């Protein structure tokens, strides 16, 4: 944000969010260097799927548009074609973009190699293979990661993309099993009621998965009365909700007061002196030029008190306006289904325990580092707000 000091000479700032320059006071041997940096550590990227009939010239124009719009990196899905990635990578790099390959890993719809091997595909508890019976949607055609041949096929595709010169990394999408439970909001779309684990959406029960499981636990999961409560087969379920809010602004007198009054470590170097990055101007805001017509960089040195806690500083309402971008772990829960064998002495058919927490962690990159201020605290109304709180709960559910 801009820092304007109403002093004898008006300083006109060159740009927002510049680094404060550090300077040694020639008359004070105890004055030391200090540097304030608000440079963003975020990089912005976008996902695209390539079109082989699109010309290099068209892609150059597209990548140029991305760069001018603030995009730093592009993740390209070439349907695992390394030749296509080789074509597009130098075009994007020429426009200043970093390139990442993007691949649908375990979910491989229309994979011409895999389709020659029907045994590579996941099998539901119903005994139906993703090769010809696809759960939920037509593009759900999942390979079994337990089977050596299908796993090596996926790794080979990744390796082919990773070897393309200039590619930064390979991003793996769909590196999981199909959804045994859909998000509640999607259930009406598929006209489903999922109040239990439905066998047609429960994977994988192929012969290799069952064999490997039997080697470890000496039992066949298909013979289990309720795999939803089978500790070895199901294990624990961990769910997390991670949120990201980009942009928007809040007015926070709290942060302004914390910083200007020296309550946080952001201003702990009080003996530091500063030269504000600016050019000189007269009191009317007209930029002063030297004899050769060039602007004159500010060379006036100010104390930390003048820069941070002066009355001029506190009268500038703009300094209370902050970028509200935030990454937040909104909710984390650990769910455990108690084994049926442990419930024989109780009147329960099934039972489960859930531990949950809300607002466990957040990171607000544009807030002063040591203010520990949650952008949600402002509530959109400014002022000092109310601190956000962590919430914890434990739940027990049972069926009779």
The answer to whether the predicted template modeling score (pTM) of the entire model surpasses 0.85 is no
Decide if 213 is inside a domain: no
Tokens of 286: 């007209």
Is there a contact between 85 and 78 (Cβ–Cβ < 8 Å)? yes
CB-based burial of residue 102 (10 Å sphere; 0-12 exposed, 13-18 middle, 19+ buried)? buried
Decide if 395 is inside a domain: yes
Q: Which residues on neighbouring strands pair with residue 121, listed in sequence order?
A: 143
Tokens of 285: 């805001």
Query: In the prediction, which pLDDT does 152 show?
Result: 94
Among 199, 254, 265, 281, smallest CA distance to 373 is for 254
As a whole number of angstroms, the distance between CA 357 and CA 331 comes to 6
Decide if 246 is inside a domain: yes
Can you spell out the DSSP letters for 310-347? -HHHHT-GGGGEEE--EEEEEEEEEEEEPPGGGGTTTT
Low-confidence residues of the chain: pLDDT under 50:
1-39, 236-237, 379-382
Tokens of 15: 């740009």
As a whole number of angstroms, the distance between CA 338 and CA 383 comes to 48
Q: How far is CA 102 from the centre of its chain?
A: 16
Among 239, 230, 226, 87, smallest CA distance to 167 is for 87
Owner of token pair 């002093």 = 7
The CB density around residue 167, as the number of other CB atoms within 10 Å, is 19
Decide if 147 is inside a domain: no
Count up the domains in the chain and report the number. 1
Summarize pLDDT for 182-191 with one digit per residue, the tens.
888 888 888 9
Query: In the prediction, which pLDDT does 310 show?
Result: 60
The CB density around residue 220, as the number of other CB atoms within 10 Å, is 12
Is there a contact between 149 and 120 (Cβ–Cβ < 8 Å)? yes
The CB density around residue 163, as the number of other CB atoms within 10 Å, is 12
Tokens of 205: 């029960």
Query: In the prediction, which pLDDT does 30 show?
Result: 38
Query: In the prediction, which pLDDT does 163 show?
Result: 95
Q: Which residues on neighbouring strands pair with residue 22, listed in sequence order?
A: 274
Task: Determine the structural domain holding residue 378 and report its residue range.
Answer: 236-261+317-400
Decide if 247 is inside a domain: yes
Query: In the prediction, which pLDDT does 272 show?
Result: 77
**Residues 82, 87, 93, 99: is their CA dihedral positive or negative?**
negative
Summarize pLDDT for 330-371 with one digit per residue, the tens.
778 777 777 777 777 888 877 878 888 888 888 888 888 888
Decide if 27 is inside a domain: no
Decide if 68 is inside a domain: no
Query: In the prediction, which pLDDT does 383 show?
Result: 53
Strands 302-303 and 391-399 come out as unpaired
CB-based burial of residue 395 (10 Å sphere; 0-12 exposed, 13-18 middle, 19+ buried)? exposed
């Amino acid at each position: 944000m801009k820092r304007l000091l109403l002093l004898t000479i008006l300083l006109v700032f060159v740009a927002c969010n510049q680094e404060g320059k550090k300077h040694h006071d020639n008359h004070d041997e105890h004055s030391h260097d200090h540097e304030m940096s608000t440079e963003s550590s975020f990089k912005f990227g976008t996902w695209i799927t390539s079109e082989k009939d699109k010309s290099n010239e068209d892609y150059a124009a597209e990548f140029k548009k991305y760069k001018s719009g603030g995009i730093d990196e592009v993740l390209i899905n070439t349907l695992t074609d390394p030749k296509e990635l080789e074509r597009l990578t130098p075009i994007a790099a020429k426009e200043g973009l970093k390139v990442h390959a993007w691949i649908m890993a375990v979910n491989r719809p229309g994979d011409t190699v895999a389709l020659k091997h029907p045994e590579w595909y996941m099998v539901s508890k119903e005994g139906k293979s993703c090769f010809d019976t696809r759960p939920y949607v037509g593009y759900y055609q999942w390979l079994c990661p337990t089977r050596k041949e299908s796993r090596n096929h996926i790794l080979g595709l990744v390796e082919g993309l990773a070897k393309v010169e200039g590619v930064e990394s390979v991003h793996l999408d769909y590196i999981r099993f199909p959804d045994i439970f859909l998000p509640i909001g999607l259930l009406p779309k598929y006209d489903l009621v999922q109040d239990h684990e439905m066998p047609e959406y429960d994977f994988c029960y192929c012969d290799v998965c069952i064999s490997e499981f039997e080697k470890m636990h000496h039992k066949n999961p298909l013979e289990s009365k309720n795999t939803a409560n089978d500790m070895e087969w199901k294990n624990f379920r961990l769910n997390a909700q991670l949120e990201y809010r980009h942009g928007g602004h809040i007015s926070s007198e709290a942060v302004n007061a914390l910083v200007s009054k020296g309550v946080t470590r952001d201003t702990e170097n009080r003996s530091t002196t500063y030269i504000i990055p600016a050019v000189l101007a007269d009191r009317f805001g007209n930029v002063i030029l030297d004899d050769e017509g060039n602007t004159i960089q500010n060379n006036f040195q100010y104390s930390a008190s003048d820069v941070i806690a002066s009355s001029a500083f506190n009268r500038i309402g703009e300094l209370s306006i902050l970028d509200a971008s935030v990454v937040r772990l909104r909710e984390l829960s650990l769910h455990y289904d108690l084994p049926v064998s442990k419930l024989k002495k109780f009147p329960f058919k099934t039972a489960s325990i859930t531990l949950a927490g809300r607002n466990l962690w957040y990171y607000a990159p544009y807030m002063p580092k040591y203010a520990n201020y949650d952008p949600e605290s402002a509530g959109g109304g400014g002022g000092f707000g109310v601190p956000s709180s962590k919430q914890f709960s434990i739940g027990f559910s049972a069926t009779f």
